[in-house]
Amino acid sequence: MILGQLRTPDLVVLIVYFLLLIGAGFYFRKRSLTVEGFTVANRSLPGWVCGLSIFGTYLSSNTFIGVPGKAYGTNWNSFVFTLSIPIAALVAVKWFVPFYRKNTGLSAYEHLEKRFGPWARIYAVICYLLTQISRVGTIMFGVAIGLSALTGWKLETIIIVSGFAVTLYTLLGGIEAVIWTDAIQSVILTIGAIIVVGLILTDMPGGAENALSIAWEAGKFNLGEFNSLSLSESTIWVVLMYGIFINLTNFGIDQNFVQRYHAASSERAAGRSVWMGALLYMPVALMFFFIGSILFSYYQANPDLLEEVKITKATELVAEQSTGLTKGSDEEIAKIKLIAKELEPDKYGDKILPHFIANRMPAGLAGMLIAALFAAAMSSIDTSLNSSSTIALQDFYRRWSNPNASEAQSIKFLRAMTVLFGIIGTSVALAMMGVKSILDAWWKISGVFAGGMLGLFLLGFISRRANNAGAAIGATIGVLVIIWMTFSPDLKEELGWMSSPFHANMITVIGTLSIFLLGLTASWFFRCKRS
């Protein structure tokens, strides 16, 4: 395949894939005509299907494009995040799943109102919705980057088309369509990754041994600094702490996961789904990091192909800079070549895998991998759209706007919210053009909003003595800490002394601990004052 052109067999595969997705929406439509059907599949699904759906939710275009790009540009430091998932899964199966199964409400945040009052519920819901909107936008943008290189289509076109497709089948089929398509798409994605590994190693000059040797010498398998306890650098311990807190957020207070606990046929099935999703994701994530490392070796051994990637990235950068140079002029070409020569691997890592697929994949197989890339995105976006519409129904419409809403009114509202969040997510994706690293962008966004949720949840979940006033003070100060850490890099030079000394991944950790510990302390103070 020539970069930017889609051959007929690949186009056929892609069209069939889209038709199957839309068909799934129509197939499950009759089962999504009630609120229970649309949101939790009438609590009837087997654990293995929910497990594959959790696995598919973890996988996204961030995994397919961002992870290999990160491994190519740096090393395996980010893989430490994955190592934290079993720790969070253990906590989830032992405490979180039983907790939510006993509380049959559809929203993950209803108990916060019971525990601390309406403000806590509203606060968590806002954080969650902002996280999901950002998540949808990041994933759509990620898939657009890959497909733009493969098809030659404009980023805007891909974002709009993919946004329309996933919104349509989620709108039609509800959570049952989401979960079953997630399960199928996760299998497609895994098969696609295995094919990529095989083709890279088969096509690599000198074979697998040479690929491993080049990557090893370049430090591509390095997990990061082990002996350092610094919190200002991305050491193993910083990434591990970040991973634990983020994954506790996923399993403990993420509506995406909570709905799957409810959709499972039993508590035991729900627990199995957690373990299945966690344990499946680890080796697949490892495979994507491995893909990034051996792609580094492959392109080092094929400098002509590497130059193509650099030129593509440099062309984009020149276009973004709006230099005023005439397109195609000698001056513009010289500028592009100069930038390309100076580009470091971390600047163009996200371009590598799409370029390989476009240039080295046989007809038909490339189409399957393009479908796999779509699958990676869709399996996460559909979940976010369904959960966000559920939250809007339970935590706003039924709670405040129309407490006595009929079944027909509720379903109508759910579908309207699905469309609305699809439009908003698509708009965010369009606004994200120009980010350097998809994975870094998502981690920063999720860290900001997630840090504000987990601390409050743990405060109410762990401590029976935490009270409304203490929780409010803890949440307020914790949010201020999160804002300070997030915007520290943007402070002017003369205000540098106010900057956070911590790595960006510590935002979630410190934000969560601030809310939890300050909430406990303030609760104790108010109890003592009353006594």
Which three-class secondary structure string do you get for 379-397? HHHHHHHHHHHHHHHHHHH
d(CA 332, CA 14): 35
What is the pLDDT at residue 504? 81
SS3 (DSSP) at 19:
helix
For residue 349, list its beta bridge partners: none
In a 3-state reduction of DSSP, which class is residue 463? coil
Which of 48, 127, 85, 98 is CA-nearest to residue 239? 85
Q: What is the pLDDT of residue 341?
A: 86
Inter-residue contact 404 to 391 (CB < 8 Å): no
User: Dihedral of CA 349/355/187/263: which sign?
Assistant: positive
Token pair, residue 329, equals 């002029």
Backbone angles phi, psi at 60, to 5 degrees: -160, -175
Q: Judge whether 300 lies within some domain.
A: yes
- CA dist., res. 209 & res. 366, Å (int): 25
- What pLDDT shows up at residue 81? 92
pTM above the 0.85 mark?
Answer: no
* CA–CA separation, 84 and 10 (whole Å): 37
- The H or E element containing residue 528 is helix 506-530
Beta bridge partners of 45: 264
pLDDT score for 3 = 44
Angle CA 198–79–506, to nearest 5? 160
Are 277 and 52 spatial neighbours (Cβ–Cβ below 8 Å)?
A: yes
Q: Considering the domain boundaries, does residue 2 fall inside one?
A: no
Q: How many residues does the chain have?
A: 531
Instruction: Report if residue 280 sits inside a domain.
Output: yes
The predicted structure's pLDDT at residue 215: 92
CB-hemisphere CA count at 13 Å for 460?
A: 26
Instruction: Return d(Cα 318, Cα 316) in angstroms, integer.
Output: 6
Residues of the chain with pLDDT under 50: 1-4, 439
- pLDDT score at 2: 43
Looking at residue 88, its pLDDT comes to 93
Res 244: pLDDT:
93
Neighbours of 436 (CB within 10 A): 13
Residue 3 lies in a domain: no
Q: Is residue 191 part of a domain?
A: yes
Structure confidence by residue, pLDDT tens digits, 94-148:
999 999 988 767 888 888 888 899 999 988 888 888 888 888 887 788 778 767 7
- The CATH number that applies at residue 447 is 1.20.1730.10
Residue 92 corresponds to which amino acid? A
What is the CB neighbour count within 10 angstroms for residue 483? 14
Position of tokens 């203490």? 470
Phi-psi region of 224 (alpha: psi -120 to 50; beta: other; left: phi over 0): left
Question: Is residue 165 a contact partner of residue 18, using CB atoms and an 8 Å limit?
Answer: yes
Contact call for residues 184 and 378 (beta carbons, < 8 A): no
**Does any domain span residue 1?**
no
Q: How far apart are CA 256 and CA 508, in angstroms?
A: 19
| Structural domain boundaries, residue 117 | 8-530
Q: What's the pLDDT score for residue 298? A: 93
34, part of any domain: yes
Structurally, how many domains does the chain consist of? 1
For residues 447 and 481, is the Cβ–Cβ distance under 8 A? Answer: no
Q: Which value, to the nearest 10 degrees, does the dihedral of the CA atoms of residues 341, 342, 343, 344 take?
A: 120
**pLDDT at 279 (0 to 100):** 92
Domain assignment present for residue 293? The answer is: yes
Task: Identify the three-state secondary structure at position 264.
Answer: strand
For 419, other C-beta atoms within 10 Å of its C-beta total 15
Residue (of 124, 153, 207) closest to 457 by Cα position: 124
pLDDT at residue 448, as a whole number: 62
